[in-house]
Amino acid sequence: MIKGIDHVQITIPTGEEEAGRAFYCEGLGIEEMEKPASLQGRGGFWLKVGNRQVHVGTEEGFDRFQTKAHIAYEVSDLDHWKQRLNKLGIEIVEAVPIPGYERFECRDPFGNRMEFINESEK
């Protein structure tokens, strides 16, 4: 279960909103929320994660595989998410250890880096 967002920065290529919704909403089970009417014509979509929001915007000419910008999901069961992402064809990369946390990294289908993190048991 995703409990919250530690931090976020994300875009997908223009015109890939349906593929983005398929991955984030159907694949990861994140709820889409309605964007304000004044922003609906700008592309992208918004997601609700816990008591936070993830705004998925659109952008061209940017190689997402080359950036460290990422979103970090706080989760309760890392093994569950590794299995779920593997089923979606996502390659898991073990992250550099941080004292007090367990975590791993991966890239979404658009190249955005994602981190899945939880506090390790003391």
pTM for this one?
A: 0.86
Which residue in this structure is represented by tokens 């569950």? Answer: 80
CATH 3.10.180.10 is right for the domain spanning 2-119: yes
Where in the chain are the domains? Answer: 2-119
Which residue in this structure is represented by tokens 């349906």? Answer: 18
Share of the chain above pLDDT 70, in %: 94
Cross-strand pairs, 110: none
CB 38 within 8 A of CB 98: no
CB 6 within 8 A of CB 74: yes
pLDDT tens digits, 35-80? 989 988 888 999 999 888 999 999 998 889 888 888 899 999 999 9
